[in-house]
Amino acid sequence: MNTHSVTPHRRPRALIGAVTAGILVVAATLGGTPAPVSAANTLTMRGADVSSLQRSLDLGAKYYDAGGVARDPLDILKSVGVNYVRLRVWNNPISGYNNKNAVLGQARAARAKGLKVLIDFHYSDTWADPGKQYKPAAWAGHSLSQLRTDVYTFTYDVCSSLRGQGTPPDSVQIGNEINVGMLWNEGRVVNNDFAPLAGLLKQGYNATKACGSGIPVMIHTANADSNANARWFYDGIRAQGVQWDITAQSYYCMWHGTLANLYNNIVDLRGRYGRPVVIVETAYPFTRNNADSEPNAIGDATCDGISATWSGQAQEFDWVQNTARNAGAIGVFYWEPTWYAVRGNGWDPANINGTGNQWDNMAVFNWSGQVNPGVRWTP
């Protein structure tokens, strides 16, 4: 996800015709939770992006299980099926959160609970997504050649620091929703020229493998809405010799189309590139209401005839998991399930106390910190 405002790359949900047998399997089940088919895969990466969690805890947030008992939120998530956390890394955010030192602490906390860790490099001091890929201030005047060195050095430093404290990453993501590149403008894809971006991605990949040769590297786009766009991107980096281990996608149904469309994209990406696919971001509202003065990133939009209620949120998440599983994906991550309406934990790292939370209706915990009793991460 991104700055949690509606950005130009987001498109209204569109109905996609079910034209293949595989798609029809999913489309035909939208009246109820899709049942796994015989070829269904197992979701081995059942994740939650909890990047904002430490800030909430520092502000005194409390988290309650379905029985109303206050517990560590990581324990609550683990009890309902989570086995992986995703942590974003910003270079030098004004907020002081999501930088290297903060991520080191978050990784220790997650590993202490027996959870695996995915490190999500944004290569920015703030949100990076398809609509914006701002360079860190410290790299602002750097040439493309310098930026390649920057990416390698920063990636290796964070990874090796994690390894040094006994919590090496279980996987690493080079860039966040890089549909048309990262570290703009030097790393932006212009006129179908993927060479500048490819050079940056190779440095991130090489740094990760130098830190730990067995650490899987993901490359992440928000192209779940368009198979043509996904092919354009991954064909483009592959032609430049970029290596990656897992193809990562974002899927928000209000922006990225039907579950049938998601199924088709996963199947195609798996077959075309011969790599596992993971949905590293998804979410659904439990209410259309707003907890603060900041407009919700997703207000009235709903999908698949499912209401914005606790039961609706649980149902849509089940359907996304089942669709991903049936298409052969290996993981699904819910984006920021713990970022509930905690005053002072705003979306803008440059004004974290003065901005609201645009995700307060999308978390898996309600505005009092109680977990949605119906949400489960399932293999």
Answer whether residue 372 is part of any domain.
no
Closest CA to 82 of 124, 46, 111, 54: 46
CB-based contacts of 351: which residues, under 8 Å, 6+ apart?
Answer: none
297-317, pLDDT tens digit by residue?
887 878 989 999 999 999 999
pLDDT band at residue 1, thresholds of 50, 70 and 90? low
**Which domain, by its residues, includes 195?**
45-335
In the block, tokens 């860790």 appear at 117
Distance between CA 280 and CA 196 in Å, rounded? Answer: 25
**pTM of this structure:** 0.90
What CATH number should be reported for the domain holding residue 308?
A: 3.20.20.80
In a domain, 17, yes or no: no
Count of other CB atoms within 10 angstroms of residue 8: 8
186 is catalytic: no
Q: What φ, ψ does residue 146 adopt, rounded to 5°?
A: -65, -40
**376, part of any domain:** no
pLDDT value, residue 40: 57
Q: Is residue 168 part of a domain?
A: yes
Residue 12 falls inside a structural domain: no
DSSP string computed for 23-52: HHHHHTTTTSPPPPPTTPPP--EEEEE-TT
When pLDDT is cut at 50, 70 and 90, the band that residue 30 belongs to is very low
Statement: residue 37 has pLDDT above 90: no
Active site residue 177: yes
Task: Supply the DSSP string of 247-306, one letter for each residue.
Answer: EEEE--HHHH--HHHHHHHHHHHHHHH-S-EEEEE----S-S--SSSSPPSSSS---TT-
Q: Is 15 part of any domain?
A: no
**Residue pointed to by tokens 């130009």:** 8
For residues 279 and 10, give the distance between their C-alpha atoms in angstroms, rounded to a whole number: 17
What is the residue-averaged pLDDT of the chain? 90
SS3 string, 143-173, reads CHHHHHHHHHHHHHHHHHHHHHCCCCCCEEE
145 falls within a domain? yes
- Marked catalytic residue, from 186, 281, 316, 336: 281
Domain-embedded: residue 182: yes
Confidence of residue 274 (pLDDT cuts 50, 70, 90): very high
Query: Does residue 166 surpass a pLDDT of 60?
Result: yes
Q: How many domains does the chain have?
A: 1
Annotated active-site residue in 177, 294, 316, 336: 177
